[in-house]
Amino acid sequence: MLVSREELKTLMKNKFMAAGLSAEHAEKTAEVLTWSSERGLHSHGEVRVEYYTERISKGGITTNPQWTWEQTGPVTGILDGDNGCGYPFAIKGLEYAMDMARENGIGVVGVRRVSHTGALGYYTEMAAQNDLCLLTMCQSDPMVIPYGGAEPFYGTNPIAFGAPTADERFVNFDMATTVQAWGKILDAKSAGRSIPNDWAVDVDGNATTDPFSVNALRAIAGPKGYGLMMVVDILSGILLGVPSGKNVSSMYHDLSEGRDLGHLHIVIDPARFVGLDAFKQQMSQTLDELGAVKPGPGFDKVYYPGERALLRKAACDEAGGIEIVDSIYEYLTSDKLYIHSWDHKNRFAE
């Protein structure tokens, strides 16, 4: 059903507050989720509310976190969130990093001991709107085999980059380091379809086309993706002193426990390099030139990173709201904190 942006955000905020989050943290969390939903990223939007609400109500997210900020150098700092809700702390950490970048040209902030922080594209867009570049990354729980392995070790470990232009556009590149998201395998299960043999492996580490046999996902581009997800884990895990690799906490194993996740923001002020105006003008020219490239067979044009998401948002604006499934709307408007428990499930929420 079609729900207005404001109604969806309010319903999500109210659920989080009912579970115990402060109004401030509930507001920021609901805003990021709404941002995701209106761009068609529903797996990082309203779909997550029931899971978060259950974890909050069971104590796995600290509702009154005793967070700390330590600026460890002119351009570095650590924000410890005391296992509070990840979204407001990812925003707060980015604000610290942007302040340092404006003052010194670069700002690097580690956000540690927090819960899930959602779609990284929200934060890269936030930086780009402030005329700054952002490279950001975070850990996730093990569900991907390392190259040459047969059992999960790393998570999907996403990484994202954003940059401003001289017009209303901005580059917003956000990717997981796996060939395909788990959600696509769920889609194949529900439709009874096979999957390509480079997406996942079975319990013995063999490539599988059967979505019901999937035991772990595969990294993009073999050893290259494996190396990239390792880099993400080092910079957002080991560097910040939180559990890393196969020791990253499970999203679903025990919702009464904090997750101790890490997230790293690296902000660069282009004004300290080529100059802000020159940078933004060249960025706009680059996007124009990409859009003028002759499309290949089966494609209508070359899109810059983030363009399709903005087109989906524009379609939502034109339609007057965000299309969500009826069962989620019914949950959001109910008095129940959660209906189907996510607790003590495996890494694929099964």
Q: Which residues are catalytic?
A: 116
State how far the Cα of 24 lies from the Cα of 36, in Å rounded to an integer. 19
Contacts of 127 (CB under 8 A, 6+ apart): 94, 98, 133, 134, 162, 267
State how far the Cα of 213 lies from the Cα of 145, in Å rounded to an integer. 15
For residue 31, with 0-12 CB atoms within 10 Å meaning exposed, 13-18 middle and 19 or more buried, which class applies?
Answer: middle
Using alpha carbons, select from 40, 23, 4, 15 the residue that is nearest to residue 307: 40
Using alpha carbons, select from 28, 230, 245, 241 the residue that is nearest to residue 123: 28
